[in-house]
Amino acid sequence: MAWLPLESNSEVMTKFLHKMGVPKKWSIIDVYSFDSDLLAIIPRPILAVVLLYPDPSKVEKAEKEKEEVKDNKSDAPESIYHMKQCISNACGTIALLHSVANNLDVIQLEDGFLKTFLDKTKGLSFAERGEYLENAQEIIDTHMESAQEGQTEAPTEDMEVYHHFVAFVHKDGSLYELDGRKLFPINHGPTTPETLLDDATRVCKEFMERDPTEVRFTVVALAASE
Q: Span 30-48, mean pLDDT?
A: 95
Catalytic residue IDs: 91, 164
How confident is the model over 14-23, as a mean pLDDT? 97
Lowest-confidence segment of 29-38, 105-114, 153-162, 165-174 by average pLDDT: 153-162
pLDDT at 213: 73
Average pLDDT over residues 99-119: 97
Q: What is the average pLDDT across 131-156?
A: 81
In whole angstroms, give the CA distance from residue 172 to residue 1. 35
In CATH terms, the superfamily for domain 10-224 is Peptidase C12, ubiquitin carboxyl-terminal hydrolase (3.40.532.10)
The mean pLDDT of 214-220, rounded to a whole number, is: 85
* Residue 42, Cβ density class (10 Å: 0-12 exposed, 13-18 middle, ≥19 buried): middle
- 14 burial class (0-12, 13-18, 19+ CB within 10 angstroms)? buried
* Residue 163, pLDDT score: 80
